[in-house]
A and B are shown apart, each in its own frame.
Chain A
């Protein structure tokens, strides 16, 4: 297929759910239950999925040149003009978009499918009223926004859809708005995101002001040029916390990602967001929306200076560690998954930060699959157990819901990065999800932290050469880097991309790149080690969750009796399980690898060239594989060891751990802190402002509303208390006093009148008599002297 067909397909894919949304809004009641659900499934996700698949297949078939051409020729339509800058709407057509688009549609489709089953019961009742079709309308709206976010080529549109997904998440978290928890959760989610968007806005302002465009590609190009020329944003000497303006730009944009992807310290909303219906948690708060932050960083990667990326890495690292620790003590199955999500998102962000662009996205996709599956599994469990979420009341459910149990287990394996290190079948390593993606991140992190200096030395060999404007070479270089970055984890696992990876390494860095490359610092070692350590924690809490839920003996007979599973709900599980496996091996990574050169082709990025063929590196990676690859064994063992027979052991540990445990259980008291500082603080300020308004400002105008009335009563016989007189007297209390002064001579005694008049006349006459010459000087200075 040729021309703009790709874009048209994608556009249709985006619009279809939109149309579905409106039809549901107006006709939802007619469609009824479950009609509305099926309708949503088809329009909302069926159509896009078909289109996405079609596009994907075509895209895979064409060669790089064609792809480049298509990317180049993607159509743009003028939408509006900000000042002099034209804002164009269009579709960013590249491998990344297509991959993400497919991933989203695929997962969303099955989650829609699942929702039909999930909502078939009483789950669609809000305060006893059925809101079935409204739920699917929201889902469709979300689908529209998410797909729009994925395809948009312009920062402003990215932001618009960004906010729209936020809105959907708000609406869906608060789906059961008759209960207090969702109400607070939804506000928390939206406002916290807004905090991030505040940063996003600042970043956008900087882009707009310095790069004079909001188009992602153009912005990147201008950014690179300005760097090379040391002009524009790089010309300003402004620094904050030692960050240059360019860095602040990157960090600002990243703030948005921190909000959406719930990175520390803005992570607080995600756990609470679990108050929403489970499919929502799976779709929005595990698979797609929360990943949007990572996607954003990937998109604006080229606007990030090394300092900015360092900041990103640090945030990611902190998040992944802290959240994993909290996950250890969670007993609510969804909360547990939520924290694991946070931790995994931390990994992705961390990966982005340390330059593992491909790996991070790869992890995003694999994680999307298995985490969606896990959530759906938990949803199945919860629905089955009549909305019991406490794992301590579960146990032994494998008999009641085998499919769920084993698919869930696959998820556990995937997230733990289970695989057989070093063994390759047909050139591909054996493992699931994390085994590839997470380890790849760690590998890059390792290079950045340990072998950066040696790496530099190697790289300096290639210094100099042609200018960065030479697109092709840049592409190749970028490609080579990204591919090889993950080489050890996969060996030459027969990805088509290795080919041009290897062939391309002749490419060299432009002066600009070389220069920045000089001052790109190595990654602090602690980051790497934290990430590594967390790789050991993850398997533990996941296995713990699985075991507590499905293994052992039933701890709550009542729950156990109710437990059941329905095909409508476990079919998606199976599909997604398959998807996880599929995603770990095929398609996605290639696409990212292919997108990488363009998406990361800006001056400063090459500096984070993950690795080269230095023997040291390979060695490092090969032992790294064993180190991480084995982690899940230890984790599982420990988990089974503790939870193998009931919760007693855990209880003991809990008692011994004491304060530490409470610290984790209370999530480091961050929520309490925020509530104290922000919410309370803001309300206090607001109240102050309000009082200022009613008491201080009105004092200036009408001197304290109520005091005014008291004054009115006081002055009397003709001013009634709540009348306009009272108020206006208040408004003009001063003038009333003046009035009293003015009328004070009006005593009613004629003699005093005469006396007063005579006195004034006398004064005037005296002035006349004793005035200095010339006459008119004293009376009033002349106009000339005042220059009127």
Chain B
């Protein structure tokens, strides 16, 4: 039994179980299965231990595309066609898988008080969809066949739609459909890319005589186009064909336009200005656990997409668009911060802060430097820890006060001391305080961006503008803390109970991670990711160099 398959489909089993077990056991079953999934995903650790040390090459190999726990089963085969059930993990996917299982587990715990929600009908359906969603998310991270990837990507869409739409707040319909429309718009472009990449890789191989050695598997010959994401990235024949300026798609340069198609698809998920407007609504309307999932995992898919598809497969595209993307990233950073500063809705503020943080991810990736990639990756993980915490903090108070008006709060630290302390940790983590997870990602990205100045002169100003966000972030977070937690105790909130044991457990475990990641970034994240990231970056830069030698310059129209 392949471990990844088990990890991916265990939640599905739980989901089915939720439909059959008696109503009063549904919660237990759900929590149990998500916990089991978490446990299983922890079994991946032994594979990657020691990634920082001597056996790094043993784990990450000597070139991009060294995978573990691989499973390849033919699914839809044809004479010129092979769609496989192809799962595998490397340093890029592994941390995200663990993050997903972890956040899902905690979110599942967070839904424990389902029965006391405003909309508390259909507990079965809720947990069924919830676990289905988890399967979808895990699938996205481990699927290495583009077709399969796309399937999981879409599978995850519908449960999320219903989770927001059925159990959401006042304007849930609006938020849900907006989420759905935006994401589908993105995946439509991805679909086009999916078809195009298959056939163009086929053309490449045909042009090379109809049979080409695989880029990363020994003794495997490619006879026709492929959906294998690693293959597309590593096979030199395909790569050079994709990159060549004479390969046109609808009269435009293939690499350039494909990169954009994929990019937009993922940028909507990330989300990046100006595609971010679905995020605040979705977050505000979604129930707390769903917000946790949304912020903790779904947004990461965008970044994962960049790193898995856009850059390895279309390095030249990345080169052409680098400036634009970096600018967009910086805009999101600043813009998100400004919007957050102006919010009066607690959850909305946190949502916008996510936009700002995700901007760092894009910036770090766009500049294509070691530190940038590492920082972006770390930022994803860090944000995956801190933002669920923030959203849960919002949820905790929303459960009690049933409103999210920042200005109506105050003095909560006095009313609920433990909650106040947790909140301080959570928000300082997302503020990017050194010693906490938020800081590492930002600094790495900033330094990485500055480092890119060598090849892109425009990187300096961008890095500096991005650095200015530290002020902005401090401003809105501290202002938030002041308005919500500080000040005199309010009569209306006097009676509130402090966080319960369950809530404390969720918050504490996240808080511990916030600090652990901040103090031991290498041991907690970098050892697992850097190997793959560096190899990938190396390959990307080589590809770019190769193309620029053959003097194929950028520009959309070939």
Q: Which positions in A face B, CB cutoff 8 Å?
A: 25, 78-85, 126-127, 129, 156, 159-164, 167, 170, 174, 177-178, 180, 183, 186-187, 190-191, 194-195, 197-198, 201-202, 204-206, 208-209, 682-683, 685-690, 693, 697-698, 700-702, 722-724, 727-728, 731, 786-788
Contacts and interface: CB of A to CB of B under 8 A. Distances in A.
Contacts of B454: 209
A497 B443 CA distance: 42
Contacts of A178: 411, 414, 486-489
B467 A205 contact: yes
B174 A724 contact: yes
A787 B174 CA distance: 43
A194 to B, nearest CB: 4
B471 A683 contact: no
B413 A177 contact: yes
Interface string B424-439: 0000100001110001
Interface stretch (B287-295, B320-328, B388-396, B475-483): B475-483
Contacts of A788: 248, 250-251
Contacts of A78: 522
A39 B93 CA distance: 47
Contacts of B342: 683, 686-687, 689-690
Contacts of B522: 78-81
A687 B471 CA distance: 17
B470 A686 contact: no
Interface in B163-196: 171, 173-174, 176-178, 181-182
B274 A83 contact: no
Given A80-B526, A197-B470, A209-B451, A160 B173 contact: no
A79 B521 CA distance: 8
A680 B330 CA distance: 23
Contacts of A126: 414
B343 interface: yes
Contacts of B274: 697, 700
A82 B446 contact: no
Contact of B277 (A25, A195, A698): A698
A773 to B, nearest CB: 26
Contacts of A85: 371
B530 interface: yes
Q: Which DSSP category, helix, strand, loop or mixed, fits chain B's interface?
A: helix
Interface stretch (B11-19, B225-233, B333-341): B333-341
B448 interface: yes
Contact of B339 (A197, A201, A682, A690): A690
Question: What are the 4 A-B residue pairs with the smallest beta carbon separation, nearest first?
Answer: A83-B371, A160-B434, A690-B342, A724-B173
B464 interface: yes
Nearest to B474: A194
Nearest to B250: A788
27 contacts: A80-B526, A81-B374, A83-B374, A162-B434, A164-B435, A167-B428, A178-B414, A178-B488, A180-B487, A187-B479, A195-B471, A204-B447, A205-B446, A205-B450, A683-B342, A685-B338, A689-B342, A690-B342, A690-B343, A693-B339, A697-B274, A701-B182, A701-B277, A722-B173, A722-B174, A728-B177, A787-B251
Nearest to A693: B339
B338 A690 contact: yes
Nearest to A214: B447
Contacts of B197: none
Interface residues of B, number: 64
Given A209-B454, A686-B338, A724-B173, 13 more contacts: A164-B435, A177-B486, A178-B486, A178-B488, A187-B478, A194-B474, A682-B472, A683-B342, A686-B339, A689-B338, A700-B274, A727-B178, A728-B177
A127 B371 contact: no
A786 B558 CA distance: 13
A778 B224 CA distance: 36
B235 interface: no
Nearest to A722: B171
Contacts of A183: 482, 486-487
Contacts of B33: none
Given A183-B482, A187-B482, A208-B451, A81 B526 contact: yes
Nearest to A691: B342
Nearest to A199: B467
A688 B339 CA distance: 8
Contacts of B371: 82-83, 85
